[in-house]
Structure 1
Amino acid sequence: MKRLFLCLVLCGIAAAADRPNVLVFIVDDMGWQDTSVPFHHDAEGKPVVSVLNRRYRTPNMEKLAAQGMKFTRAYAHPVCTPSRITLMTGKNAARHHVTNWTNPAGTENSDNDVKHLRSPEGWGVKGISPDETALPSLLKQAGYRTIHCGKAHFGSKGAFGQYPQAVGFDINIAGNEIGHPASYFAKQNFGKGSNHVTGLEKWHGKDEFLTEVLTRELGEVLETSVKEKKPFFAYMAHYAVHSPFNEDPRFSANYPDLPPPQRAYATLIEGMDRSLGDLLAKLDTLGVAENTLVIFLSDNGGDAPIPNNNANPVVSGNAPIRGKKGMRYEGGIRVPMIAAWAKQGPGNAFPIPAASHTSDLVALADIFPTVTNLAGVTNAKPWDGHDLLPYLKGDPSYHRPQWLVTHYPHGHNNDHYSIFHEGPWKLIRNWADGSSELYNLASDLAESKNLAAEQPDRTKAMAAKLDQRLNEYGALRSKVVGP
């Protein structure tokens, strides 16, 4: 009996060691066009290189896209905390109720620009609920080492989700309740006050940049995991490219003609990309690159310090799409996403078609079932996500359901709205005045012509579907105040 038990234990360890590793590489506030990789494709499927694609330098993103798949219609929530909790739980934000970002104090942070509307009562102002079953906890139970590095922002100070360990991470590098750093400079001890980055004290006073520091820290933990033959789930959540727009001096010379804030932003982009390249090289050196799936994405639309000029959209921060972080338009919610093995080779669990892309709608909630299925986790409820592995395996017959709900019952860059995507069509319900916007993204990517009045039947039908889904999620609605 003892021999049988020992055999089962050892076999279980071997099976865990053989399972693919996963590196989720999530960037903060990176826009759909904040890269030299074009995510805009024309009707024939050919990439369209934009002005912003020519501005930024992301050779390692180019490398990753060349050996894997781009998702050109990937969607997140319009702000950060809801997206991060959706990734962790597989639930739409309307279902998990953390529909806005959380602040360290755990207090309401919405604007009150709409006089008669406020945030819903009972929304998750302190962050993720302890009742949630999170992705890292499931992977930990399945024998994975779970590693968090960088920005957490799952909950406020003193709340359940303040630290990543609460949701199942074995190791936490520099993650807590803050949503952005006070400073990227180690010389400044990564800043002071409520947005000070903690856990990196050994770097204080040194001539180093936060993006590079986090990369080195994660590299050391990955090396230990590989030596101990533990499969890993690594969640590299960079503070970059969120403000403050501190210039990464390693890359300043590459952008001599940009004004200071835009030059700083470009250096944050390039520094993030260097981190990606360094981690890919580290995985290769450790001999696990062929067995590590890398998923690259952003947590919401871009927030570059570029005027959002609808009259001259070619110079807007997310051109050719409209809007920016927090907004109901595509610039607020469409994000870059790539999935690939860290290195192509015979060690891949399955081949991913090289330099491929899909224009199907996919969403952040899809990461949860994709990773759990890849890892062989059998007790995970997919909730609102859909497995993306058939895309990566090259199955042309597979299509994730082509609809999506986005719910933002708060005040911010745009106020109190819900969105329903259905194929190429997009409906926006503006709760402040009851108006609707309808766009055909296939023919009007910039959302320049509202078709709601011209197509009342489609508008009404999509509005009914939106309401049905919100009710199914148990979505909290904006609170009406005043007379």
Structure 2
Amino acid sequence: GEDGYGNLDPKRKRRAIPGLEKYHKTDTFLSEAITLEAKEAITQSMKKDKPFFLYMSHYAVHSPFQTDRRFEENYKDSTRSRPSKSFATLIEGIDKSLGDLMDHVTDKGVAENTLILFVGDNGSDAPLGDNYGYYSSAPLRGKKGTCYEGGLRVPFIASWAQRGDQNKFPIARNHLHTKQIGTVMDIYSTILDASGAKNPQEHVIDGVSLRKQLSGKVNQNRLDHFMCHFPHSHRSSYFTSYRRGNWKLIYRYLTEGGKRKSKNPLPQHELYNLKNDPYETKNMALENRPKVNEMIELMNSQLKDEDALFLVRDDKFLKPALLK
């Protein structure tokens, strides 16, 4: 808070955080400031006897990695790099924030009726020693911004703030669900299901409630496919990845890597069996062309159904092409 979360530093003004003026020029770290504001928002909802939905999006663990001094002492003897130690303090800050919020809803008497969904927004980008760089999501391949599982898979934990009779439905305890995928698109449907709220008639729903999976069961009505369409420039520039069952296809629109030129051309098609090769070490595209082309047709069908945007080169749309 000393520099007003960027507001008091002209060089950082463009990315400054608004609405926290009362913490400016204090030693209140950002994670703590937004936690205090979140607690107050819950309190105000309770005073009005209204249910609340709290979307808590932390800035911590995103670069630049600043040290949360509340926990700095815990790592004074560590031989890790300075960014790694700063990152560790940020993790502790998020952990404390969640604990403080859980304590708050408990104190307000609504813990049994409060569903907590803890989720990452993208693959890891953590500065963790030997894993720093392309394998910071080890053992998965890739990291934030890539087309591989290390860039697409994220942590997801669901729990009632407190177990009890007021829980709307059971959530399996100490259960790791590995038999089906879930996506961020399912969160909206899950919240509707848990709260009993109705979806506006004109609003299209892309996801499916995770309620059955949270209970530890398999949802037989759930589709087994997932598509990530990214026709933009970043680490894995201009790609679409499509998963169906155990198979995953990656299609690159620019094999030279777009703005980030590659020394060697990248394969336009990559095919992996995630059951047998979860770390995506063996590209099976050339040895299984029928599967590649089957997946390309399914990919194109979904892209068409969803009116997807495409990269344009020489006044032409670039769309996934069959492997010849």
Give the TM-score range, shorter chain.
0.7 to 0.9
Distance in 2 (CA, whole Å) between partners of 1:399 and 1:410 is: 33
Indicate if the aligned counterparts of 1:302 and 1:331 stay in contact, CA closer than 8 A: yes
Indicate if the aligned counterparts of 1:419 and 1:426 stay in contact, CA closer than 8 A: yes
Counterpart selection for 2:162 from 343, 346, 361: 343
Which digits, 9 at most, give the CA deviation of each residue in 1:325-345, with x for residues without a partner?
Answer: 111111111100011111101
Distance in 1 (CA, whole Å) between partners of 2:97 and 2:189 is: 26
249 and 309 in structure 1: CA distance in 2 versus 1, 3 angstrom threshold: closer
Q: TM-score, normalised by structure 2?
A: 0.85
Which digits, 9 at most, give the CA deviation of each residue in 1:368-418, with x for residues without a partner?
Answer: 111122222233445211111122244445462110110000111111100
After TM superposition, what 4+ stretches of structure 1 lie above 6 angstroms from structure 2? 307-310
Instruction: Name 2:262's counterpart in structure 1.
Output: none
Distance in 2 (CA, whole Å) between partners of 1:235 and 1:278 is: 15
Aligned-residue offset at 1:227? 2.7
Instruction: Name 2:213's counterpart in structure 1.
Output: 391
Which digits, 9 at most, give the CA deviation of each residue in 1:136-188, with x for residues without a partner?
Answer: xxxxxxxxxxxxxxxxxxxxxxxxxxxxxxxxxxxxxxxxxxxxxxxxxx011
Identity, in percent, stands at: 41
Distance in 2 (CA, whole Å) between partners of 1:229 and 1:218 is: 17
1:193-212 to structure 2, matched below 5 A, reads 193-212=13-32
Which digits, 9 at most, give the CA deviation of each residue in 1:65-106, with x for residues without a partner?
Answer: xxxxxxxxxxxxxxxxxxxxxxxxxxxxxxxxxxxxxxxxxx
Aligned-residue offset at 1:430? 0.7
Counterpart selection for 1:352 from 161, 167, 171: 171
CA root-mean-square deviation: 2.1
| Pairing 1:190–2:12 present | no
1:388-467 to structure 2, matched below 5 A, reads 388-398=210-220, 400-433=222-255, 435-467=268-300
Aligned-residue offset at 1:455? 1.3
Counterpart selection for 1:275 from 85, 97, 100: 97
Instruction: Name 2:40's counterpart in structure 1.
Output: 220
326 and 394 in structure 1: CA distance in 2 versus 1, 3 angstrom threshold: closer
| Pairing 1:332–2:160 present | no
Instruction: Name 2:259's counterpart in structure 1.
Output: none
Which digits, 9 at most, give the CA deviation of each residue in 1:16-52, with x for residues without a partner?
Answer: xxxxxxxxxxxxxxxxxxxxxxxxxxxxxxxxxxxxx
Contiguous gaps of at least 5 residues in structure 2:
7-11, 256-266, 317-324
Q: Give the number of the structure whose residues are more often strand, by fraction.
A: 1
Counterpart selection for 1:264 from 78, 86, 90: 86
Contiguous gaps of at least 5 residues in structure 1:
1-185
Distance in 2 (CA, whole Å) between partners of 1:392 and 1:429 is: 32
Distance in 2 (CA, whole Å) between partners of 1:456 and 1:198 is: 52
Distance in 2 (CA, whole Å) between partners of 1:348 and 1:243 is: 37
Which digits, 9 at most, give the CA deviation of each residue in 1:453-475, with x for residues without a partner?
Answer: 12111111111111110011000
User: Which amino acid in structure 2 is aligned with residue 455 of structure 1?
Assistant: N
Indicate if the aligned counterparts of 2:168 and 2:194 stay in contact, CA closer than 8 A: no
Distance in 1 (CA, whole Å) between partners of 2:314 and 2:83 is: 39
Indicate if the aligned counterparts of 2:84 and 2:129 stay in contact, CA closer than 8 A: no
Q: TM-score, normalised by structure 1?
A: 0.58
Indicate if the aligned counterparts of 2:246 and 2:275 stay in contact, CA closer than 8 A: yes
Distance in 2 (CA, whole Å) between partners of 1:397 and 1:328 is: 27
Q: How many residues align?
A: 295
Aligned-residue offset at 1:431? 0.8
1:144-155 to structure 2, matched below 5 A, reads none
User: Which amino acid in structure 2 is aligned with residue 188 of structure 1?
Assistant: D
Distance in 2 (CA, whole Å) between partners of 1:385 and 1:308 is: 37
Distance in 1 (CA, whole Å) between partners of 2:31 and 2:162 is: 23
Which digits, 9 at most, give the CA deviation of each residue in 1:262-316, with x for residues without a partner?
Answer: 1111211121111111111111111100000111101111111347869x98xx3
SS class of match (1:218): helix
